[in-house]
Every structure is written in C-alpha cells, then in structure tokens.
Structure 1
Amino acid sequence: MDVEAARRTRSVIMLLGPLLDESAEYRLPYAGGCDLGTRTVQPHMQALRQFGLSVEAKSGFYAVQAPPSDGNDRTFVLSERGDTVTENAIMAAAHRPGTTVIRNASPNYMVQDLCFYLQRLGVEIDGVGTTTLKITGRPSIDVDIEYFPSEDPIEAMSLITAGIVTHSEVTIRRVPIEFMEIELATLAQMGQALEISGEYFARNGRTRLVDVTTKPSELRAPEDKIHPMPFPGLNIDNLPFFAVIAGNAHGQTMIHDWVYENRAIYLTELNKLGAQVQLLDPHRIYVNGPTKWRAAEVGCPPAL
C-alpha cells in the first residue's frame, strides 16, 4: 500500500470491513483527505466492534486485531446513519456466518449499489433501500459475475447545474431519479423549467433512470432555506450546487449546511466569480441574486 497516498484519502477506512476475515492482525494508515469539517472515524469503530474488531490508535496508523468469527447472529444500531459507516458494516457482515441486522442504516444510492452487488455474489440481504438491513453472510465468496455500478446523482446534478446557470437547453441522460426527486422538486419551486422522460432501468436492473432536459428559466429565491437531509432528502453532496443556482435566482436564498463546519465558508469563493454570498456562520450563507458571472481563479478544498 502507498501509505502517503492512502493518508490523503478518506476511503482507506473502507478497508476495515472487508479485511475483517482476511487477516487476524493488520495496520492501516490514518484516514485523511477531507477539509470540509470534523469527520470522526468513531462510528466506523462502533459498528465494527460488533464483529469483535479491536482497534488501537498508534502514531500515524491504526493497529487492528480481528478475532475469528463466532458464527453468532447479531443486531446493532449505528450511532450515525453514515453512508461509508453502513457500507463498512455491510461488507463485514457479508463475509461472516450467521445473520446480522443493522438498524439506522443509510439507504443512500451507494449503499444500495453495494447491496445489489453483494446479492449478485450470493449474499442474502433484506431491506435494501430502508434503514434496517438483514444480512445473511457467506464465509466463502468465489463467483465470477458481471456488474454495472449505477449512475451517480452527484454527477447528474453537476450537469443539470451547468445547464441552469448557463441558461441552456441541455439534456442529461440516465439520471437516477430516485435519488434526485427532492432536488428536482426544489428546482421546480424556484421556477426552473424541466422536461423529464419516462423511467427506465439502469444496467444493474434495479436503479430507476430518467432523462432530464433543462430549459432557460427566470429563477426566484425559494421562501424556505435549502438544506440537506438523509435519503430520501436532498443529498448533502448536492447542496453546494444550489449555492451556484441561487446566484441566478432573483432574491435572497439561505443555504444551511448543518453537516459540515467548513463547507459554507468555501462557498464564499463564488464571490470571486461575481456572486453575492454572505457568510452568516460556519453552517449558513445568504446568496443574493441574480448574478452577473465573471471569470476568475477559485480554490477547491480536498474532499475525497
């Protein structure tokens, strides 16, 4: 493992669950790669302790001990309904004999995609798309399959935003509508004209897709603040796009990012592009529009 590269990403923490039954002892470098706010790994540890995992923080790395599986059934509640926390717990349960019930699980798009993939591998998972998952693990997984990860709602929202801000008619195909419904409803409330096609399935056979066409529109600031919520609410990673979109709207829009301590601060970079963003506190901004955009050099925080 390239330790220095691993320390620059948050995803290294995702190896804890899959390695649970692969090695009795191992070390992992500290997770990094995100400057959006304080992001503790304790929810991951709390979840994986249910499987007997023991983790000790050393200088620059985690020392991990993973005892052999006892084969017992287990039920536990996640202290945080996090996407990666849920995925780590799912991957740990998938390889362990017995039945695991995970409550307060995230039902977000990447979690569902992982469940669909594991089901193709023969792992029994009930409750996909809900906050309670029941997983019957397979100690031995050795099958060849072909699988296609579903389309990304964050990528789709970025393209929709580009169409809106440039007053363009743009068609974005293969939009995962189940994970975009609140975003599209919010846009409609702001006066954005959209054409949405009929639904069809992604190549994984499970995710519902549509094509979305943006139309040049006169936007108005919503009466209520725009804020994220766990799925099926507005996706936390789609929230920054609404700061840009609000720059095109007539009136004042409040953006409330209650999740991260620093991300609202970074949105003031839009002022370099001509926006009128007022920082109220580390979690809230006002965006006053409409904006006459101009070119400029802006910085982007690391958030892997």
Structure 2
Amino acid sequence: MSEDYLARIGTLIRDARRHKSMTQNELALALGTSQSAVARIEQGKQNLSLEMLARIGECLDSEFVSLGHSGAQHLRIVGGTKLSGAIDVKTSKNAAVALLCASLLNRGRTTLRNLARIEEVNRILEVLTSIGVKARWLPDSNDLELVPPARLDLAGIDVDAARRTRTVIMFLGPLLHEYPEFQLPYAGGCDLGTRTVEPHMSALRPFGLNVTAHSGFYEARVDGDVTPGRPIVLTERGDTVTENALLAAARHEGVTVIRNASPNYMVQDLCFFLEKLGVRIEGIGSTTLTVHGRREIDMDVEYSPSEDPIEAMSLLAAAVVTESEITIRRVPIEFLEIELAQLELMGMKYDITQEYRSANGHTRLVDLTTIPGPLVAPTDKIHPMPFPGLNIDNLPFFAIIAACAEGTTMIHDWVYENRAIYLTELTKVGARVQLLDPHRVMIEGPTRWRATEVICPPALRPAVVILLAMLAAPGTSVLRNVYVINRGYEELAERLNALGATIETFRDI
C-alpha cells in the first residue's frame, strides 16, 4: 500500500476506535498485538495485510476499515426481561441525509454537529468523497466536517454506494445550478416497492431540469434559461420531494414559492440549515414555503440537527412491548403528539417534563417516562397522514403495540405496497397477524411472545419491529443480516443493552 493509503486507513481506524470508546491498548489486546503497533497503524506507519484489516474490522465492527468480514452481521437476543433506566434520543437520520446533500450548495466549510453515525450516512459520505468532497469526523465526537473541492468530480462517483441509497436523488437539486449536463446512478435503499420519482421531476422542471433514465443512470440536462415563473405546486407532499425543491430554490437568485410542501421534521431541519447559509425562508412548518435564494453560497457554517422522532417512537415501543418503565430523554414532542394521543386512547400512561429546545434552537423537546399498564385496541384503524398526522415511519411500531393490546387492531399502510406484508413476520415471534391485502393487516392481542430465528426484513422499520418483539420473547432469538437496521440506527443493540437488554452481535464463522 502507498503511504497515502496507509495514512487514510490509519485515520479511519483511529476514528472507528474512538467511536467505540476503545483505547489503543484495548484494541491492541483484542488484536493480540502491542499498543505501540496500534499507534503506528493509526499514524499510517505500519504495513497492513488484508487479514489484519479484517481482524481490525471485526474488533471495531466497522465496514469503513474491514476488507474481509466473514459474513453478514446478526443479533442474538435473550428476551423476556424488563428494561429500566434512561436513554437519549439520537439526532435525526432523515435530517442528516438531507443536510449532507445540502452541503453541496456551500463552497465553504460545513460542520454538522452530533450527526448520526449510521450506515445511511456512511453511504452518502462514500458518494461525497468519491466526487471530491473532503470529509472527516472531528476527534472524539460525532461532528462531521465537509469541505468541497473547487469542482466536483462527478465522473468519479462511487456507483455502488450511490445505488445503495435513495438519498442520491437529492443531489439533483444542488447540482442543477452547477452543470448543464450530468448523470446520477439509479437510487436504491429499502425494498418498499415501486416509488415513482416523477414528483421529484415535476418539482425540478421549473428550474430547467430534464431527466431521462438510461442504462442504469439518471441523465440530467439543465436549460439555464428556464426559471420558476409561478409557484411550484408539488404533486406529492413528500419529504424528499420538498427537500429537493428547497435545494434547487436555495441557489435560485429570486423568490421561489413551493406549495403543498411537507412541513415534517427533516424538512424543517433543512430549512433552518439553509437559513444559516443566508437563504431566507418564510412559512417554515407550513405547507407553503417562500424561498429567497442566493446565487452563490460560500461561508463556513455549523449546524446541529434535531432529535429523531422515529427513534423516540422505537424506544417507546420497546418500553411497551417489554412492559417497562424507562425515561426517554430529548424527545421531539411536536413530531410525536398524534402518536401519543393515539396511545392514550389505547390506555397508555406516561409522564413528561417541561419543554426545552434542541441544539438547533427551534425544535421542542421533552423527557418522557413510560408507565407500564394494560392497553386496549383502538376503535378505529390506525393509519398515517402527512405531518402533523401520524408519521408513516412510526406506523410499524403500532403493530407490536397493537399486539400487546386487548382486542383487534387494523393497521392501514396506504403508502407502501410491501411494508404491511413484512409485518406478518411478527407471526414468527407469536403475534396473530392477518394480512388483508398488500396495505392492511389485522392484529389480535395480547400476544404470548416466543423466541425464534428470523431473517431481517429488507425494510428498516419492520426490521426494528421484529427486534423489539424479540426483546419481549422469553428465551433466545436470532435476527439475521441486520445491515438494514444499521442503516438507520446508531449502536441500537448496545444502547438497548444499557437499559438491561441482552443483545449480542455476531457473524457466521
């Protein structure tokens, strides 16, 4: 390996070790080597074999530094015990990915504070660094620094990484102001069925963007003479569609009105970040956004995304399914009020503190303590709606909550045609789930949970639902191939273990 590669690998190993809160000596003991050898490795002064890289990757559980994992990562869960204690909600996954894309608007340095270090973020970072963006995690922190090159190298884009995340479609908004022609790989991500990109295209055509699909790539052409002449009415009140329109409007030198915009949490975080870049936005939190863009953005900026309401709901569901009293700190209450109102109708009790502000200065937070008690099925079906309705990503957690309640509950997932089907996997851990059609399931509770072995569903939230159900099942369960969970949650197993769970990470030999 060249000295440059050794130095880069050494930095990745150092950052991964610090992220695992390990000392050099602890890593040395795990590897069967000396502390001075680890120090040389991190300084880029030690030649490394593929075997050693694989061993380091296993010790640090980091795909950044492993070139030879022996197989997929699995979880072994010993269930049937109650949880206790307190846990902080991490910052938002969906805000993080939007902010990473938004950093492409800025010619200056962007520092994102307390960012979620998850696989989805890793994939986007791989894409960003492949086109020339310098990215580094600041020492002993979850703070990420991004510095763009004078000119992006789009020809060098990491196609494999780009195709493992749908987020790459949000590169369209920032890039259309820079290039008359460019291409992006098809987007991937969770397997949730066909999701048309046409709403994105109709939102961006007023900025002169035309996209055709050809040979696995989006071929983009931009007519610089076309600018929004009237308000942009989104055909879908989608989060990423709204974000893409905002990213395009941010560098349109003029006023852009976006109607039928999503006012959801990640969109608000993006708006607050764009305001830090000097873009004035009226109507944040509403369905009409008025954006006063800037042709050039070149400034050093810092921003802290707000906490993740979906993770907060995950932890709430963990408490319900294990009949536990836990305190969930830093809950973004304004994005969980409908969910909590629904849970109160089902009989759930909880205590909350006075509100305080997130580090972004805007989002309202509380600390919430769950109070175990019997639940009853709701009279009406549970279904999602655009914010301020029940969040589509929180709907799967009502499946395991309904499985704990007395009576029959209908869950109607009208957005995704596959995700309701994945909820039938709960039958393997003892739940009584009847699939009515690709969008609706009936769940009868309460449930006698049982331990089992399940292959992780390919969609993030249903996968976490299975994991949480296994926490309630007496005995030892195995959840196989949990990469999809790592896409959206940072060290979820370790954090649940801190509450009293018993979850072991392992790989096949």
TM-score (normalizing by structure 2): 0.59
Kindly indicate whether residue 300 of structure 2 is the aligned counterpart of residue 300 of structure 1: no
Report deviation, 1:5: 2.0
Q: Does the Cα contact within 8 Å between 1:72 and 1:98 map onto a contact in 2?
A: no
Distance 2:283 2:320 in 1: 36
2:176 match: secondary structure = helix
2:231 match: secondary structure = strand
Q: Does the Cα contact within 8 Å between 2:256 and 2:290 map onto a contact in 1?
A: yes
1:56 aligned partner: 212
Distance 1:150 1:234 in 2: 19
Deviates more, 1:52-61 or 1:230-239: 52-61
1:68 match: secondary structure = coil
1:253 match: secondary structure = strand
The AA in structure 2 aligned to 1:86 is: T
Percent of matched pairs sharing the same residue: 69
2:419 aligned partner: 263
Q: Does the Cα contact within 8 Å between 2:206 and 2:226 map onto a contact in 1?
A: no
Distance 1:48 1:72 in 2: 9
1:76-115 map, 5 Å = 76-115=232-271
Moved over 3 A (4+): 69-74
2:194 to 38, 42, 48: 38
TM-score (normalizing by structure 1): 0.97
1:174 match: secondary structure = strand
2:211 match: secondary structure = strand
Distance 1:125 1:238 in 2: 28
2:437 aligned partner: 281
Higher helix share: 2
RMSD over equivalenced CA pairs, Å: 1.2
Rg comparison, structure with higher value: 2
Q: Does the Cα contact within 8 Å between 1:196 and 1:210 map onto a contact in 2?
A: yes
Q: Does the Cα contact within 8 Å between 2:242 and 2:262 map onto a contact in 1?
A: yes
Distance 2:283 2:307 in 1: 21
Distance 1:63 1:271 in 2: 44
Q: Does the Cα contact within 8 Å between 1:72 and 1:97 map onto a contact in 2?
A: no
Q: How many residues align?
A: 304
The AA in structure 2 aligned to 1:280 is: L
Distance 1:287 1:27 in 2: 45
**Deviation readout 1:75-110 (Å, 9 max, x if unpaired):** 120010000000000000001101000000000000
Q: 1 or 2 for the larger relative contact order (CA 8 Å, sep ≥6)?
A: 2
Is there any run of 5+ residues in structure 2 with no aligned partner, and where?
A: 1-156, 461-486, 488-509
Q: Does the Cα contact within 8 Å between 1:69 and 1:97 map onto a contact in 2?
A: no
1:240-255 map, 5 Å = 240-255=396-411
Deviates more, 1:14-23 or 1:1-10: 1-10
1:179 aligned partner: 335
1:4 aligned partner: 160
2:422 match: secondary structure = helix
Report deviation, 1:296: 1.9
- Return closer, same or farther for 1:71/1:289 CA change in 2, 3 Å cut-off: closer
Distance 1:160 1:254 in 2: 20
2:54 aligned partner: none
2:436 match: secondary structure = strand
